[in-house]
Amino acid sequence: MPVPSTMASNTATPSVSLDPQRSFQGLILTLHNYWAAYGALILQPYDMEVGAGTFHPATTLRSVGPRPWKAAYVQPSRRPSDGRYGENPNRLQHYYQYQVLLKPSPSDLQDLYLGSLYEIGIDPDNHDIRFVEDDWESPTLGAWGLGWEVWCDGMEVSQFTYFQQVGGFDCNPVSGELTYGLERLAMYVQEVDNVYDLNFNGGEGADRVSYGEVFLQAEQEYSRFNFEHANTEALLRHFEDAEAECAALLKAGETGQGIHLMGLPAYDQCIKASHIFNLLDARGVISVTERQSYILRVRDLSKACAEAWLQTAGGGADETSTPEEEPGNG
């Protein structure tokens, strides 16, 4: 179908800037360019609801096993209990993380990271950039690492972690993970105090689209959903279903020959269970005692998935074990 001619001819080129200091999307593109130039794969977000960029298989699973990996991507992240009905200037139940995973961690990782800050216009002569201790632990992923939260003038703009264990397995080699909180970083460089005032597209005047125009309504609606209306009985069922499905896929994918055939779909169910748990938590229906047991249930899934992953090509199974040939099968 041909494009109607009016659309092409009547729309003047809008005046937009890709300057990371004036445009949220410009910030993302700048980081993409920086890390692409470094040699990282620029991946797309994972198509599931996750609490953080770490859950993307490009981080969780790729950080397990011997194979080198360099990737960067944006991940929409949902934290139901952080919703504030759009009334808090910087708490969101849905936001974007920019995630970089370099395996093995290069020895100049701090400098590389600082280079990316300079690239988006943070001038080290006038800003106070600090690495403040923050050990990272994800009980649901059976993962932990040491590192820092990176502060810029008192604002936490990134998490910087050297993964030590994921899915209960020692990371060897160790991956370096960088997670930029994109909204915070953008608020910082655009010098706005309210996330909803961020310039999303870098447009001026009538061409300007704010973050609020894109997401305020969503924050209000999802806060209602997360805190008041999510059907907890259904969610409890969904949790059980995801857990059962994960276990079933893990079992079905076993070959008994050191090779697993369905680590990735099984891991999807683990992600699902984890997000449902977060929603239940936001609804306040999980007691402290139960909470621990839910966390352990998700952790069991993620450990089993990591174990399955190690038996796949991506997990390096073809490097560590060559499939044995059955006699007489030739």
Q: Would you tell me which residues interact with other proteins (CB under 8 A)?
A: 84, 87-91, 104-107, 110, 124-133, 135, 145-148, 152-155, 162, 164, 171-174, 176, 187-188, 191, 193, 287-289
Please give the DSSP secondary-structure letter assigned to residue 284.
T
Q: Are 195 and 211 in contact (CB under 8 A)?
A: yes
Cα–Cα distance for residue pair 46/75, rounded to 1 Å: 7
In angstroms, give the least distance from the CB of 245 to other proteins: 29
If the CB atoms of residues 33 and 172 are measured against other proteins, the closer one turns out to be: 172
Q: b vs e for 267-278, b when ≥16 Cβ sit within 10 Å of the residue's Cβ? A: bbbbbbbbbbbb
In terms of CB distance, is 231 or 292 closer to other proteins?
292
Show Cβ contacts of residue 170 under 8 Å, excluding neighbours closer than 6 positions. Answer: 164
Give the nearest distance from C-beta 12 to other proteins in angstroms. Answer: 35
Report the C-alpha gap between 240 and 232 in whole angstroms: 12
| Of 64 and 270, CB closest to other proteins | 64
Query: Measured from the CB atom, is 212 or 265 closer to other proteins?
Result: 212
**Residue 106 C-beta: closest distance to other proteins, Å:** 7
Which C-beta is closer to other proteins: that of 89 or that of 323? 89
How far apart (Å, rounded) are the C-alpha atoms in residues 216 and 196? Answer: 7
Q: How far is the CB of 128 from other proteins (least distance, A)?
A: 4
Coil vs helix vs strand at 312: coil
Nearer CB in complex with other proteins: 10/107: 107
Least Cβ distance, residue 201 to other proteins (angstroms): 23
Q: How far is the CB of 104 from other proteins (least distance, A)?
A: 4
Outline where DSSP puts E strands in the chain.
41-42, 69-78, 94-103, 129-133, 136-138, 143-152, 155-166, 169-170, 176-181
